[in-house]
Chains A and B, each alone.
Chain A
């Protein structure tokens, strides 16, 4: 029935709504670029500039001097990279055990993992802070990395993927051939799990890069991540709007870059995660 098919195709109004939504989504970021590439005086004019100006590099230079953005970018890369690698590994290991191995307490442990996803980690920051004080980890990157490795979502995500995508016969055949669990994991599970590991890695990297509460508690301006530096930048001692926006832009560019290159996979991962389970 071709009439029906036509009806489900988007009309002009559909595109108009979508274009508006895209404009609203993108405009604040575009405005950041405009503000970061102008001088403060230009922004305060009666008719503010709406196109990017020539001062982007100057403003970048000022913010690199005034706030520790350079160091913050490096720290964020280290922190987010470590969290991503560790989370993907831990989640794949545990996800495989939950999906394909049989052991006592499996149901209860998995239920505990799923239930813990309901509890916001922000509620545990006080003891966590006392813990890292005791360990003398305040202002050290491992204070952010280690708690960041706990991802109940990751375990669940990998388990759901492996339940469906890893054929029991493959594992059985390897067992018959006398392969150890470790060998089965590296030679059979990891190659099959790779697409899901990539998606989990992307989502974890973005979450880790953007994480806010715990890093500002555990770190300071001496050893900041990008979000800690942005907090400092917004804390009031830099008054130049265009410099603040230059810092914001610098701190956001790496994620936007990842997003621009792999946006399709990220969209897929979010939608996939939503219907699975």
Chain B
């Protein structure tokens, strides 16, 4: 989920909400008699470099994607656009592989996001104890995050190898038959998901740890005095305190899961995501259409579907979180 990752370091608040300190105090306007310098213009000069790049390489491509999705645009002749209306979309919905990719994106998304966030939560809880060598533990848990998608996927592709992969050999040692991690639908999706889980669990654990450290120690002390077990402390002090962070990480992981691409591409190195597309995700399907089959217009339609999907999922996530919150507040 590399593209969504910068987001993860921003704010554990509700997505899209303006940051709290937008209203921070501002120095008074400089007095107008300042040596003829155009004081009112100069603040914009600081913004020009960022916003020029932002407009050219951030906003423009995004809007233009919607436009291109209505045209026939081919990779060999990227300058020529031929009007197709909603043709790219209808072709998309008529393609069974689109639905396969949509379903795979969903199942791989669940298989990777749920265990990853649950384990991260547990790890954060453990990391929050007073520990010897805590910098070591934190840094070591972040090693997978430092490893690129490409490298991690190549390594896991070998670990999951059918004949000589370490995982099948380990299974053999305990008497389990070798698993076909490449061709089995469930098996291949578990294998691809495990790459995501490996790379992001430690990172999310640190995000949760940062959230945990904002929970006052007195709450735990009070719970201790009341004789609450550690498990009950976790349920009744830790979880409520972490709620905003949990919502935030699930939104970020959902966005990342929706556009999963490198892991399924490099698991076997093919754009079809396995022989019967058994682990092809939407991201990979888009790449296959655009750069495998040269249909850029079709790929743009897929991008736009992914965007809508993300909007719906993020909206649902926020709605669920708010509803739950209301329910508990009403108790």
Contact = CB atoms under 8 A, between A and B. Distances in A.
Contact of B144 (A25, A99, A107, A269): A25
Contacts of A77: none
Contact of A207 (B2, B137, B310): B2
A244 B158 contact: yes
A85 interface: no
A18 B126 contact: yes
Contacts of A3: 224
Contacts of B68: 126-127, 130
Interface in B15-65: 15-16, 18-22, 24-27, 29-30, 34-35, 37, 40, 42-47, 49-51, 53-54, 56-62, 64-65
A236 interface: yes
Interface SS majority for chain A = helix
A141 interface: no
A35 interface: yes
A234 B269 contact: yes
B261 interface: yes
B288 to A, nearest CB: 13
Interface SS majority for chain B = helix
B312 to A, nearest CB: 13
Given A48-B166, A130-B78, A29 B206 contact: no
Interface size class of B (residues with CB under 8 A): 35 or more
Contacts of B42: 101, 180-181
B90 interface: no
B138 A267 contact: yes
A5 B224 CA distance: 11
Interface residues of A, number: 123
A252 B78 contact: no
A1 to B, nearest CB: 7
Contacts of A97: 43-44, 46-47
A157 B148 contact: no
Given A133-B78, A178-B35, A121 B58 contact: yes
B141 interface: yes
B220 A8 contact: yes
B159 interface: yes
Nearest to B208: A274
A149 B53 contact: yes
B157 A277 contact: no
Given A207-B2, A277-B19, A131 B9 contact: no
B84 to A, nearest CB: 14
Interface string A30-65: 011001000000011000100000000000000000
B151 A230 contact: yes
Contacts, number: 367
Nearest to A93: B46
A222 interface: no
Interface string A83-122: 0000001110110110111110001011101111111111
B79 interface: yes
Interface stretch (B106-114, B128-136, B177-185): B128-136
Interface string B210-236: 110110010011001000000000000
Interface stretch (B94-102, B272-280, B300-308, B321-329): B300-308
A175 interface: yes
A213 interface: yes
Interface in A174-233: 175, 178, 180-181, 185, 203, 206-207, 209-213, 217, 226-227, 230-231, 233
A93 B139 contact: no
Given A126-B290, A175-B30, A255-B148, A94 B46 contact: yes
Given A270-B9, A271-B210, A26 B140 contact: yes
B7 interface: yes
The 7 A-B residue pairs with the shortest CB-CB distance in the complex, in nearest-first order: A277-B11, A273-B9, A124-B61, A153-B6, A10-B129, A97-B46, A210-B148
Given A8-B220, A22-B137, A210-B2, 14 more contacts: A3-B224, A8-B129, A9-B129, A17-B122, A94-B46, A96-B46, A101-B46, A126-B290, A127-B65, A212-B262, A217-B287, A248-B151, A271-B210, A273-B9
30 contacts: A21-B141, A24-B198, A28-B159, A91-B50, A97-B46, A100-B26, A101-B42, A119-B62, A120-B259, A122-B259, A123-B65, A123-B259, A126-B65, A126-B300, A127-B60, A127-B61, A133-B79, A150-B54, A168-B27, A210-B147, A251-B151, A252-B147, A256-B143, A267-B138, A267-B142, A270-B142, A270-B207, A271-B209, A274-B245, A276-B10
